Structure 1
């Protein structure tokens, strides 16, 4: 009854536009889906829902709370029920109680956070269990020894300085305008408990090797003991197609004589079952999935450098996807909403998405894996100083790079590595993008080389639209609104990382009544589509040089009204069938 009463009192904050999913959100059943599709176990408990919250000056601990917040929506969002920015001078506190099922007795209990922005400290029953910095990656603590028999209290403190510090923040701002959007503080992805054995499989890393027609599967353990045997079975539906075993932490090799290949046209996924045995006894078992595909560069019959998928040239074409929501900000209201933009992107005939200066929850990449959408993954920008370094987008850089402090550089390297680590299992990711334009860009050749060495199975786009070096696998230019070739590299692939931005104001679907803008403005879906077609024709005229392009953008975001859809996803601002026909022509342009 108390839960029903609390749910009845919850209301979205403010009066901004909302998505259909946000309007129909059930606060007692928030994002209930299993949050980690690449490593599945059966025993888990979702902690999303109404928590107590308080905003207090740094150094103060709340004696009482300000009200309730709906987790996992950021404090600034409407769906949190709070609609307040804590600010850099304050800490954001959370508290809730939970109980652990009796059947978990004798197992380890892990407390998982999908993502919290930015610095997190956690207590269970007054016992500190861990801290974490980084706003975009999952983390977990073993809380077994802190648990009580008759109910537990979880308390979380978050500090988020946003642009007042150097940490990666993407497009968040305390003063949103133009291309800068609302700040996102606190818990913004699912919080959950997991029961695991005393020793357990910590992760599953699968590397496809098309050249050798094999998969290499690594399964790091929480604690390794001599004699541990890892078994891996690969399935095509219900049929086992390969199996292997390994001792002492060695990778398991799975050979497949005739592998089915993953591509946008045929996004085939294999299932995996990974088992840890010791002395013949099953210690732990998890489910996962993978796919056979290869991202590389090569040359076409005209000797032009091209992006290759499975050793064939493919023109990669898709929208700039920023992943913002009018009601949830960084957090989609439901899993259906999270998948919606991907589904629409596919329906519109694209084969790629550039995920722009944001990292999504694991389920977003899972939906891309299933749909067959290639992902270019940006590193969220941070430590942005206007005018430093100077922007020389249309020539190779001749100036002086930004000098970050040792703390800022260490933060960037830590968070970029964690992002690659957590996203590495997703087969759809084809390109890592360490920098966007000149936003915090530093030591570019070194960062590009490290990224390539750390994950040689993907391509590296050193600086999308940024200051250019002969580094990474591609040269990426931005030009608005019309596609234009202003620099060409005969040794690396040339791509157009941003163009377009055709704006249309749709009354009744605006974040703000005024201040709305686009790079160009039109008044109807037909006019927008006519202009889009002109840009596509220009792009095709540059086909001898460009090998990929990114159109701005999937949806409107706050006052930026140049989306294919409105911010609330209720209105398509283009003519879908015409757009699909245009896009398929572009995506198939290199087919020989």
Structure 2
């Protein structure tokens, strides 16, 4: 009887703990989103969810009109023997996004993809594991249905040379042992699955925006280094000022000096911010503490152009001889 009561109590505690963790995570996300809402200059909309797909022998445009099946994205389909498939869905772009650069960002598509919007080819990506985006600013219709069409290959889409004969595959032998000097892009362990395996997001950016942020903490130097790339997608040169600060919750713990940046028309510029930080709280697997990095881009009249937030942990990993060190403490990495 005591064992039954104890197990029941343990289950109740676990369920309560999971519920509390879920609520706390929602509060953290909401806090970040609330801060971002103060500077609403970029927008996003998920394109995950209900799509359709159809398998084909070749990716010829336009795709067939029949035999489409429903599928929830992100998701992959199975195939290894020179299979191809089209994926499609429709979406609307809000009218208040006018004047922005409209892009579609793919977290990952396997393999050798091609993207169409409203019947026009807008890009694609050869590999299967790298995120990429396509600019659809001139192809979309506001407040109307737009069609997004993505063509994909199975892993043979990254093959070169003569066609591989998979009929020679014997029981117990992996298919990836057959192609020799054929594969020219990473295929991974799950090479026999292909499709849109990561998030798809519709985004709206200002014409001048923060395109990339690379946070590089140094525990040994007690220094925070940040590489920031600013992109100008207008036809005029731009002079802007970048400000950045680190937040711990709602409190600023580190502030970088404002940095002027000149960006050529349809070009980009990368600058490096550096600031000493005497006592940051270090990230580790046992204490995965995170900070926010807030970045603002303003024109010479101090008009806000872009705002971007990045979460990061202050940690550094290095090697000494055959050993790995995290924040100065020797660690053992499994399977290394």
* 1:186 counterpart = 2:195: yes
| CA drift at 1:45 | 0.9
Distance in 2, matches of 1:238 and 1:156, equals 41
Q: Gaps spanning 5+ residues in structure 1: where?
A: 1-33, 77-84, 174-182, 300-304, 319-495, 498-592
SS at match of 1:103: helix
User: Are the counterparts in 1 of residues 290 and 312 from structure 2 also a CA contact under 8 Å?
Assistant: yes
Distance change >3 Å, CA 190–CA 65, structure 1 → 2:
farther
Distance change >3 Å, CA 213–CA 52, structure 1 → 2:
same
User: Are the counterparts in 1 of residues 229 and 271 from structure 2 also a CA contact under 8 Å?
Assistant: no
SS at match of 2:114: strand
Equivalent residues in 2 for 1:414-453 (5 A)?
none
Distance change >3 Å, CA 112–CA 65, structure 1 → 2:
farther
SS at match of 2:224: strand
User: Are the counterparts in 1 of residues 118 and 140 from structure 2 also a CA contact under 8 Å?
Assistant: yes
Structure 2 partner of 1:72: 74
User: Are the counterparts in 2 of residues 69 and 75 from structure 1 also a CA contact under 8 Å?
Assistant: no
Structure 2 partner of 1:136: 129
Distance in 2, matches of 1:217 and 1:60, equals 44
Which residue, out of 151, 155, 164, partners 1:161?
155
Distance change >3 Å, CA 168–CA 60, structure 1 → 2:
same
Equivalent residues in 2 for 1:298-317 (5 A)?
298=320, 306-314=323-331, 316-317=332-333
Structure 1 partner of 2:45: 45
Q: Gaps spanning 5+ residues in structure 2: where?
A: 1-28, 157-175, 262-269
Bigger proportion of residues as strand:
2
* 1:227 counterpart = 2:239: yes
Residue by residue, what CA displacement relative to the aligned partner does 1:113-132 show, whole Å, maximum 9, x if unpaired? 11000111111111111021
Residue by residue, what CA displacement relative to the aligned partner does 1:126-146 show, whole Å, maximum 9, x if unpaired? 111102111111100111100
| CA drift at 1:59 | 4.9
Distance in 2, matches of 1:317 and 1:130, equals 39
Which residue, out of 81, 101, 117, partners 2:110?
117
Distance change >3 Å, CA 196–CA 257, structure 1 → 2:
same
User: Are the counterparts in 2 of residues 210 and 292 from structure 1 also a CA contact under 8 Å?
Assistant: yes
User: Are the counterparts in 2 of residues 234 and 242 from structure 1 also a CA contact under 8 Å?
Assistant: yes
SS at match of 1:250: strand
User: Are the counterparts in 1 of residues 59 and 151 from structure 2 also a CA contact under 8 Å?
Assistant: no
Distance change >3 Å, CA 122–CA 59, structure 1 → 2:
closer
Distance in 2, matches of 1:275 and 1:197, equals 12
Query: What is the number of equivalent residue pairs in this alignment?
Result: 259
Give the RMSD, CA atoms, in angstroms. Answer: 2.3
* 1:207 counterpart = 2:203: no
User: Are the counterparts in 2 of residues 269 and 291 from structure 1 also a CA contact under 8 Å?
Assistant: yes
SS at match of 1:195: strand
Distance change >3 Å, CA 227–CA 240, structure 1 → 2:
same
Equivalent residues in 2 for 1:171-320 (5 A)?
171-172=189-190, 183-223=192-232, 225-244=237-256, 245-248=258-261, 249-279=270-300, 280-298=302-320, 306-314=323-331, 316-318=332-334
Which residue, out of 91, 98, 102, partners 1:98?
91
| CA drift at 1:209 | 1.8
Distance change >3 Å, CA 247–CA 55, structure 1 → 2:
same
Distance change >3 Å, CA 253–CA 317, structure 1 → 2:
closer
Distance in 2, matches of 1:185 and 1:272, equals 35
Structure 1 partner of 2:266: none
User: Are the counterparts in 2 of residues 51 and 69 from structure 1 also a CA contact under 8 Å?
Assistant: yes
Larger RCO (alpha carbons 8 Å, 6+ apart): 2
User: Are the counterparts in 2 of residues 94 and 157 from structure 1 also a CA contact under 8 Å?
Assistant: yes
Equivalent residues in 2 for 1:283-432 (5 A)?
283-298=305-320, 306-314=323-331, 316-318=332-334
Distance in 2, matches of 1:285 and 1:51, equals 32
| CA drift at 1:157 | 0.7
TM-score, reference length from structure 2: 0.71
Structure 2 partner of 1:302: none
Distance change >3 Å, CA 65–CA 137, structure 1 → 2:
farther
Distance in 1, matches of 2:75 and 2:320, equals 44
Structure 1 partner of 2:18: none
Distance change >3 Å, CA 254–CA 126, structure 1 → 2:
same
